Structure 1
Amino acid sequence: MKKTTLILGLFLYLSGSVLAHPGDHRIKHKIDSIISLMTVEEKVKLLHAQSKFSSAGVPRLGIPELWMSDGPHGVRGEINWDDWGYAGWTNDSITAFPALTALAATFDPNVAYEYGVAIGEEARYRKKDVLLGPGVNIYRTPMNGRNFEYMGEDPLLASVMSVPYIRGVQEQGVAACIKHYALNNQEKWRGHINVQLSDRALREIYLPAFEAAVKQGNIWSVMGSYNQYNGQWCCHNEKLLNDILKKEWQFDGAVITDWGAVHSTEEAVNNGLDIEMGTWTNGLTASESFAYDKYFLANPYLEGLKAGTYDEETLDEKVSRILLLMFRTSLNPHKPLGNINSKAHQQVARKVAQESIVLLKNQNDFFPINAGAHLKIAVIGENATKMMTIGGGSSELKAKYEISPLQGIQERFKNATVEYGLGYASGPSAYGRVIDSPLDQDSLRTAAVELAKKADVVLYIGGLNKNHHQDCEGEDRLSYGLPFNQDQLLEEILAVNANTGVILLSGNAVELPWLKKVPALMQAWYLGSEAGYAIADVLAGDVNPSGKMPFSWPKKLEDNGAHYFGELSYPGDSVNVVYKEDILVGYRWHDTKKIEPEFAFGHGLSYTSFELKDFRLISPKTLSEKEVIELSCIVKNTGNCSGAEVVQLYIGKKGSTVLREIKGLKSFEKVQLKAGEQQEIVLKVNASDLAYYNEKQQDWEVEKGKYYLYLGNASNAISFKSIITIQ
């Protein structure tokens, strides 16, 4: 009894310094002391689930349960203990934040930090120890049903935006859990597909955001992915987990499976996994009366330990990581209490949504629309009223409220006559299956066209939704075009009223056969609780749009690098998928192959205009790989209203001895300026960041020679070029 009391006291004493490195001798000593008091059975209990979203503690020693929740856009509603049904709580409604694709489109690390703080506070209030996010899988193809949860196609953008998110969450005493490590770039066949790619593509494109999370964000947990890499499951992959994550990057936290992603006790034990969640099987086919003890890291592991198949040293290493995770979260007496649905959180959600909206086209200044004018506005499209916080798979949310685009427009444009036409109907949302709408689509389309005829302005609000086979976990999209005959509907609307602006809600690019006919187009993502207000803010000009595309938007699907090489490159042959485009993902592909996109990475218009001028290379033109490249420029708002511009620095090497992209994003900065105001900015890049991954040496190498600097406001809009030499 005295030992138990002593250990509990040590937990509470120790937790005051939870952010210390685990190498701190006090932490290591105390963890070792606790482990020495545990039985083998108690240790194994820590390694696997006891419910859908919790793992067991050790009550005898005061070790608590570990509670997790789906993210990454909000804390998911409470799930039943043993099944995926909702528990029916009345106090688990939360603020829904914009999807991470929208966050990436802000190109603003400061709002990423605010986002992380707010969602971390909500998780802390809900007594969650681990928030399952952010997601940083690279946008490889617009067909991936889960792209809306991720941060675009560029590894630097995903890195820069995820690190402050992680810091914000973890400052609240909640562990962020970056996912899905690694190469979960499609939902189709995700449960078994084997990804084959070069080491260069792995290191240069698909791993940098995870590495930044570990080295810069000090992330406390990492979630493995369902798929295989080089013939081994990612949740117990020797190279990914042991060699790269834990040894090379020195990750000190816990590796958690995706739910049900373990396939082998032996590999799970030896290849770096720490916590197994969601298997719900005896390893074959059937559930048991208490399936949690049948997990691969449960009784099978315990039996192997007792038989001497596995050594206890490996077990203790896993337990020490889990205890450190607890010191940082549940056992930290200084963690904040958290709060939920506060005005501050709602303001963050609205701010992120405002900054994320991308103005793709704005012919003859169609937007903004005069909110004081007595106009007849026809709002057409199911997405003007459809709830987007529900559906989509594990990221679905139980939001306290969700302002629809129609409601936002009606409240902001009070002097206008706003009428609504559904136009099309998708049917009810159902995860894992498609349900057709019982409404007559022809009648809906006819009524919408009649409404458009009488309007001064038509606002078409369509796109995708979070139904199965769209932006949804579990399966990919079936077509690059808009679903539910929206293209036909738009053509008929444009035939009777050319004064039509289009607002698309989606997490993916779509085909735009009618683009030349519409004067204006906005990409508005899935924007959470404040969606309608944020959209109306931008439509009315109360907020100047400043979002930039976090991925390239191909004119047709075959223009995308993953689709250019045929089915083996995407979606694969059901056994393997081969990343034949290699490092040339997104704009790297379009640039190098000279394939013009519909909209380029980094593209985004404004209601004002900007000039980039007075470029100056501060650093020497010749420098070593240990030095820093610095350049400055003046950004001037040359228009009539305040706005924000994102200055983007790309660097490339011509004449390389290996395949290189024309240019890659190496730095960016978002600048807020009043009308007529100008500001000097300085962008810095470590010359070592120009390295490529040398596959022969299995290490990074900076090639000597000339490098080309490109400064602009989109990957295809370069205002300044310069040359430096690395010697």
Structure 2
Amino acid sequence: MKFFQNLVWVAIFSLSGTVAAQTPVYLDETKPMEDRIEDALSRMTLEEKVALCHAQSKFSSPGVPRLGLPENWMTDGPHGIRAEVIWDEWDQAGWTNDSCMAFPALTCLAATWNPEMALLYGKSIGEEARYRNKNVLLGPGVNIYRTPLNGRNFEYMGEDPYLASEMVVPYIEGVQSNGVAACVKHYALNNQEYDRHAVNVEVSDRALYEIYLPAFKAAVQKGKAWAIMGAYNRYKNQYCCHNQYLLNDILRKEWGFDGVVISDWGGVFNTKEAAYNGLDMEFGTWTDGLTNGKGDAYSNYYLAQPFLDLLKNGTIPESVVDGKVRNILRLMFRTTMNRNRPYGSFKTPAHASAARKIAEEGIVLLQNKNNVLPIRLCETKRILVVGENAIKMMTVGGGSSSLKAQYEISPLDGLKARVGDAAEVMYARGYVGNIDGSYNGVVSKVNLAESRSADELLDEAVNKAKSADYVVFVGGLNKNSHQDCEGGDRTSYGLPYGQDRVIEALSQANPRTIVVLISGNSVAMPWIDQVPAIVEGWYCGSEAGNALASILVGDVNPSGKLPFSMYVKLEDYHAHSFNDSIVYPGLNHQQIYKDDIFVGYRWSDLHKKIRPMFSFGHGLSYTTFEYGKAEIDKKVVRQGESLRVRIPVTNTGNRSGAEIVQLYVSDLKSSLPRPKKELKGFKKVDLQPGESQIVEFEIDESKFSYFDDKKHAWVAEPGKFEILIGSSSSDIRSKVAFELE
């Protein structure tokens, strides 16, 4: 109410108290935005300008009440709108109307390989943020999957920069269509949680530009993101939240970013660097971003009183703060000062439907020997569900993305609801993991207390398995510390809590044992040959159980594909192949990316002795697809021209399904080392049984280029290339050659 009163006051009276002749320019939405920004800036005092640059509470920064300029309110995403916290504390505020719709984790979104799902996701979560009157959503995350131990991989979009780039753009567009800024994070090189507040990353410019920056660049130049969040770590010995090279040289100068740069919570350490090196808004200083904090310390932030003092004594010119305020005002005019902003909506049936649809498209069928899936209910009397993850809430925990969800359907409840009276659904715990279901003030609705021993739990599960028609083991990781959780990396590649032992025993007791992994990371699978079916079930939010059940019983034909490679052992990942702590996790806060541009499938393509368990882009269906011969419209491509690729794809099975057709480019001879192939296109096509469709791609010179760090430029080197069309990075169905002149 106060904000609207200020607007009326400013509209009627001039700053001197006399009747205004006309509406001030900054309030006139018919005027160009940059004119409005300059007008508002000219009316502000130095103290008001500085106040805009730092937090006033855990999740807000001040406006200028005198001018009717509103506060900025942030909310954690990227999977749902965080519950309200007390103004100056991390504890829950105790609201009864702030439980949100939980959407699938971004690994699941990436696994849809469907930009339409990314747009739906962004639009839906943007509506929830807008309804809660937030004008900045702290997400999405697009850091690259370099190691499967990274505790925060579940918040990101996989190992490939092209896939992440194509999926982040529509997410941003969907969020910002609601007048809410998407704040893309964590810029940049935040590829682990271990030592994240201190580690200095050394990486070649080539790897930086080819692997770790493309998704951020796409977010800025194609998605037109209104906000970017700096990372905790250091690069070139400067913290990323005030990093000259990343923020000024690349983000502003090279990419033309005109939005606002926001610090990660507690990511600022120096006033002069924060002033000069591209940061606009400082949040969370003296906190670890989640639990610890220094109460009511906002005036002491680096961009608060210390900044003001340096401005007043002339050490820092006022033009520096003016630049920051312009960016902050631009954020305001795009969001809270836009009177045509939609009103948004919150935890609606439409949002539940969106969450379920995204989950169903993202769940990946990894293995299905003898077509044990889908479960044939007409032939089934008993289904045994085993595993703690079948009942454990996964919306609670994991770090800043932890949610106070309106509801969460567990895998057990989802399967029970779908099966109904068609068969008996039994349950056995199987193993005990972390029984603490609370996190950051949100308490799980499920009691995980267990007094029985591991042997007793195993005996119960095995005995029940012997009389079941199907056994569905639901395990994997969880959102507890040192698993899929912010603040620390996993300590091993294997499944925790003795799950391997349980799976092996179940597979011996029942040949129809199906393993469902709930996780955001790859895990070791020593039992892979003992079980017929494996499903990657991700963290799927409120509708997790319903979505999983629809896949298991065949209501939905699985179509998800992996956004990262899954290897047999940890050492198969390039970052872990050196047996050198300087590569991972770092030594004395220093880290060298010796794996360079060869991350994920780019590495195993070169290394003949390493084969993934499940390749990047892999995912099975309940139907089959046949690829024809790829054709191109020209054999010789001149620089500046585009190339058209066409390939027929046919559904050769007996049910409808969707296939993700992937296009890779291979440079057969180059002056610099290059990957054997790189993803440069993909399309998801829905086909009825027997239906064929011509899938078309258009690729231009940028798809043939590499980054030459000596020239600091992208180079499309003349020579011979191949287009490879496949169902995954290791399942190439057709090739066609061309020459670039």
Contact 2:274 2:303 in 1 (8 A): yes
Deviates more, 1:691-700 or 1:328-337: 691-700
SS at 1:491 equivalent: helix
- What CA deviation, in whole Å up to 9, does each residue of 1:304-338 have, x standing for no partner? 00111100011101001000100011111000000
Deviates more, 1:267-276 or 1:5-14: 5-14
Q: Which one of 172, 183, 186 corresponds to residue 180 of structure 1?
A: 186
Contact 1:373 1:416 in 2 (8 A): no
Distance 1:27 1:591, change over 3 A: same
Report what 2:343 is aligned to: 337
- What CA deviation, in whole Å up to 9, does each residue of 1:607-627 have, x standing for no partner? 000011142112x21112211
Contact 2:514 2:533 in 1 (8 A): yes
- What CA deviation, in whole Å up to 9, does each residue of 1:190-213 have, x standing for no partner? 011001110000000000000000
1-side partners of 2:322 and 2:547: how far apart? 50
Report what 1:623 is aligned to: 637
Write the mapping of 1:511-550 to structure 2, written as runs, cut at 5 A.
Answer: 511-550=524-563
Contact 1:281 1:294 in 2 (8 A): no
Contact 1:487 1:514 in 2 (8 A): yes
Quote how far apart the aligned CAs of 1:407 are: 0.7
SS at 1:51 equivalent: coil
Report what 2:436 is aligned to: 428
Contact 2:393 2:437 in 1 (8 A): no
Write the mapping of 1:201-280 to structure 2, written as runs, cut at 5 A.
Answer: 201-280=207-286
Report what 1:21 is aligned to: none
Report what 2:472 is aligned to: 459
Write the mapping of 1:584-623 to structure 2, written as runs, cut at 5 A.
Answer: 584-594=598-608, 595-618=610-633, 620-623=634-637
2-side partners of 1:8 and 1:559: how far apart? 65
Q: Is 1:669 equivalent to 2:683 in the alignment? A: yes
Q: Is 1:3 equivalent to 2:18 in the alignment? A: no
Report what 1:418 is aligned to: 425
2-side partners of 1:363 and 1:626: how far apart? 47
Partner letter of residue 590 of structure 1? S
Contact 1:47 1:55 in 2 (8 A): yes
Report what 2:303 is aligned to: 297
Distance 1:115 1:708, change over 3 A: same
Quote how far apart the aligned CAs of 1:343 are: 1.1
Q: Is 1:449 equivalent to 2:462 in the alignment? A: yes
Partner letter of residue 134 of structure 2? K
Report what 1:166 is aligned to: 172
- What CA deviation, in whole Å up to 9, does each residue of 1:549-584 have, x standing for no partner? 000001110000110112211111141111111000
Q: Which one of 147, 154, 166 corresponds to residue 148 of structure 1?
A: 154
SS at 1:273 equivalent: coil
Write the mapping of 1:550-565 to structure 2, written as runs, cut at 5 A.
Answer: 550-565=563-578
Partner letter of residue 507 of structure 2? L
Quote how far apart the aligned CAs of 1:370 are: 1.4
Quote how far apart the aligned CAs of 1:424 are: 1.1
TM-score by length of 1: 0.96
Report what 1:636 is aligned to: 650
Quote how far apart the aligned CAs of 1:376 are: 1.0
Q: Which one of 478, 486, 496 corresponds to residue 499 of structure 2?
A: 486
Contact 1:146 1:473 in 2 (8 A): yes
Contact 2:137 2:183 in 1 (8 A): yes
Q: Is 1:658 equivalent to 2:683 in the alignment? A: no
Contact 2:372 2:533 in 1 (8 A): yes
Quote how far apart the aligned CAs of 1:13 are: 2.6
Quote how far apart the aligned CAs of 1:290 are: 3.1
1-side partners of 2:96 and 2:449: how far apart? 30
Distance 1:299 1:8, change over 3 A: farther
2-side partners of 1:533 and 1:30: how far apart? 49
Report what 1:357 is aligned to: 363
SS at 2:246 equivalent: helix
Partner letter of residue 93 of structure 2? A
Fraction of identical pairs, as percent: 54
5+ residue gaps, structure 2: 1-9, 441-446
2-side partners of 1:129 and 1:676: how far apart? 48
Q: Is 1:474 equivalent to 2:487 in the alignment? A: yes
1-side partners of 2:375 and 2:573: how far apart? 34
5+ residue gaps, structure 1: 18-25
Contact 2:265 2:287 in 1 (8 A): no
Deviates more, 1:683-692 or 1:106-115: 683-692
Quote how far apart the aligned CAs of 1:86 are: 1.0
CA RMSD of aligned residues (A): 1.7
Report what 1:99 is aligned to: 105
1-side partners of 2:106 and 2:551: how far apart? 19
1-side partners of 2:111 and 2:713: how far apart? 32
2-side partners of 1:80 and 1:372: how far apart? 53
TM-score by length of 2: 0.94
